[in-house]
């Protein structure tokens, strides 16, 4: 039996073991997903006497100087006292509070006049009959109100007595849900109610807060371990496919190898770009732009492919950055910005031993360097910056400017051209800018991702 046959048989044995191992991992992952689905669909609630570290509810008078007043035009001989109450819902769970309702049981006679920003489902019992209506108390007409009510001047007051209750349904459009939370970070929502009563205070202490929590599959140790194991499995599969190709010698095996390699690369890029849906496919688009710029600068086909392959991994270090920071809609703190900047060095460290793709480490490490030396992480300038990094800097900027970002809308093509011209010699290599401007109208065409 020759060495080729031995290699083929050994590879087949390993392949069967790998398939069995993958099947076992998939079974465990399915169990993990089932458990997560159960977690996400578990009905949860908080009441005044609950002991909960996940979610807290605090209903209290808002307490500002203009948040209470008297009304003397509802009754001839009685004065109503009005007060704005605030319900603060705090999510400390470390995951998303996906949906919720707040039921407030009425303990004594009062009137509800307004609530924001959601709708209020009012249950009013009159002479043993339950009247139910859901209203947006900020926006309605008197003709729409089917419940019993009275008028006090221009105000419509819906009376509530002991045994009645209201259910507040939050408004997603104004951010009342989902309420996000992460390790070391609590999400919070405040809602308001205007209540009238003959006493100066309305008792709103009896409530039931119903909610669901939601985890994504990749959150937590289970999802992280699955991604690592699956990525390792794909790498080993690539190695086995290479062995099969050598032993069999069929030309179609090269196609299969490249297809699996493409899938593996796609998985790695998805883990980096998938941190925030707004940056989906960013690395693949940037790689295509870089390849076109390299061709315009006179590089041959092989060098252009090298630029393309290396550029795909320029942001792989983003995998180490927290989802909360990557997707943060507001300005980053100094510490958070330093963490974001670290994706260059972390990505380069991750790619240090990747020898099959030239310049991939340089692409990750230097793509945020600026031509005038004010970039990071090294602060190098001019021709000291590898040419591939200077090309990626321009391609990366074009992709950013031509797509919407949390802090601005996409720029027009004339605006993009103006930015490249203005920053030539400072942020960008002038030679690269010349190449970009020569083909910039073609760069805006759909890229193959």
State pLDDT tens for residues 327-338. 676 778 888 888
Q: 351-376 burial by CB neighbour count: b if 16+ within 10 A, else e?
A: beeeeebbbbbbbbbbbbbbbeeebe
User: What are 289-329's pLDDT values in tens digits?
Assistant: 999 999 999 999 999 999 998 998 888 888 778 767 776 76
> What mean pLDDT do residues 169-191 have?
90
193, 112 contact by CB (below 8 A): yes
What is the reported pLDDT for 379?
95
What is the reported pLDDT for 28?
82
Task: Find the helix or strand (DSSP H, E) in which 225 lies.
Answer: helix 220-248
- State what percent of residues in the chain have pLDDT above 70: 86
Q: CA-to-CA distance for 185 and 91, rounded, in angstroms?
A: 9
The beta strands (E) that lie in 127-256 are given as 129-135, 150-152, 155-160, 165-169, 187-197, 207-214
What is the reported pLDDT for 7?
60
DSSP 334-385: HHHHHHHHTHHHHHHHHTTT--SSTTHHHHHHHTT--TTS--SSS---GGGS
The phi and psi torsions of 109 (rounded to 5 degrees) equal -60, 135
Assign 3-state DSSP to the chain and report helix, strand, coil percentages, each to 5: 45, 20, 35
> What mean pLDDT do residues 411-439 have?
94
Using pLDDT thresholds of 50, 70 and 90, give the confidence band for residue 445: low
What is the reported pLDDT for 262?
53
Q: CA-to-CA distance for 389 and 251, rounded, in angstroms?
A: 35
> Any bridge partners for residue 308, and if so which?
none
State the residue for tokens 């290396």: 310
> What mean pLDDT do residues 416-438 have?
95
What is the reported pLDDT for 327?
66
Which of 64-68, 278-282, 422-426 shows the lowest per-residue confidence on average (mean pLDDT)?
Answer: 278-282
Using pLDDT thresholds of 50, 70 and 90, give the confidence band for residue 271: low
Of 5 and 74, the one with more pLDDT: 74
Using pLDDT thresholds of 50, 70 and 90, give the confidence band for residue 52: confident
User: What are 112-126's pLDDT values in tens digits?
Assistant: 999 999 999 999 999
Residue 219 has pLDDT above 80, yes or no: no
What is the reported pLDDT for 277?
42
Residue 3 has pLDDT above 90, yes or no: no
Q: What three-state secondary structure class fits 196?
A: strand
The beta strands (E) that lie in 199-300 are given as 207-214
State the residue for tokens 């380069």: 348
- Its pTM stands at 0.50
Q: CA-to-CA distance for 306 and 205, rounded, in angstroms?
A: 67
Residue 149 has pLDDT above 80, yes or no: yes
Residue (of 371, 372, 389) closest to 290 by Cα position: 389
98, 212 contact by CB (below 8 A): yes
359, 385 contact by CB (below 8 A): no
The phi and psi torsions of 334 (rounded to 5 degrees) equal -60, -45
Q: In angstroms, what CA-CA distances link 433 with 228, 251, 374?
A: 39, 41, 18
Q: 322-350 burial by CB neighbour count: b if 16+ within 10 A, else e?
A: beebbeeeeeeeeebeebbbbbbbbbbeb
Which of 314-328, 409-423, 429-443 shows the lowest per-residue confidence on average (mean pLDDT)?
Answer: 314-328
């Amino acid at each position: 039996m020759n060495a080729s046959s031995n290699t083929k048989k050994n590879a087949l044995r390993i392949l069967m073991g790998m398939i069995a191992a993958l099947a076992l991992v998939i079974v465990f992952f399915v169990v993990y997903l089932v458990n997560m689905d159960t977690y996400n669909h578990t009905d949860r609630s908080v009441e005044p006497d609950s002991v909960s570290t996940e979610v807290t509810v605090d209903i209290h008078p808002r307490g500002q100087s203009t948040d209470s007043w008297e009304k003397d035009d509802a009754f001839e001989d009685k004065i109503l006292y009005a007060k704005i109450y605030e319900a603060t819902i705090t999510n400390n769970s470390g995951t998303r509070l996906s949906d919720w309702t707040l039921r407030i049981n009425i303990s004594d006679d009062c009137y509800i006049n307004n609530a924001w920003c959601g709708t209020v489902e009012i249950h009013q019992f009159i002479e043993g009959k339950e009247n139910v209506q859901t209203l947006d108390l900020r926006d309605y007409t008197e003709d729409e109100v089917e419940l019993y009510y009275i008028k006090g001047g221009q105000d419509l007051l819906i009376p509530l007595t002991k045994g009645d209750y209201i259910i507040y349904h939050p408004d997603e459009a104004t951010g009342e849900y989902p309420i996000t939370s992460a390790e070391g970070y609590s999400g919070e929502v405040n809602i308001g109610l205007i209540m009238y009563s003959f006493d100066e205070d309305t008792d709103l202490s009896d409530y039931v807060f119903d909610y669901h929590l939601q985890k994504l599959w990749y959150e937590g140790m289970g999802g992280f371990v699955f991604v690592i194991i699956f990525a390792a499995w794909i790498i080993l599969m690539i190695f086995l496919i290479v062995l099969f190709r050598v032993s069999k010698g069929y030309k179609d095996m090269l196609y299969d190898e490249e297809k699996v390699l493409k899938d593996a690369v796609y998985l790695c890029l998805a883990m980096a770009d998938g941190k925030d849906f707004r940056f989906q496919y960013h690395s693949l688009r940037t790689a295509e732009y870089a390849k076109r710029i390299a061709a315009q600068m006179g590089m041959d086909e092989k060098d252009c492919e090298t630029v393309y392959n290396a550029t795909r991994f320029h942001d792989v270090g983003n995998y180490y950055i927290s989802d909360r920071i990557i997707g943060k809609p507001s300005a980053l703190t100094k510490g958070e910005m330093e963490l974001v900047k670290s994706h260059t060095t972390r990505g380069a460290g991750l790619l240090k031993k990747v020898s099959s793709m030239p310049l991939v480490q340089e692409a990750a490490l230097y793509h945020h360097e600026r031509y005038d030396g004010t970039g990071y992480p090294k602060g190098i300038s001019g021709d000291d910056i590898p040419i591939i990094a200077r090309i990626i800097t321009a391609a990366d900027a074009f992709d950013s400017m031509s797509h919407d970002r949390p802090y601005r809308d996409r720029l027009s093509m004339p605006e993009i051209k103006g930015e490249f011209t203005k920053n030539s010699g400072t942020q960008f290599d002038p030679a690269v800018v010349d190449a970009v401007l020569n083909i910039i109208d073609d760069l805006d065409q759909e890229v193959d991702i």
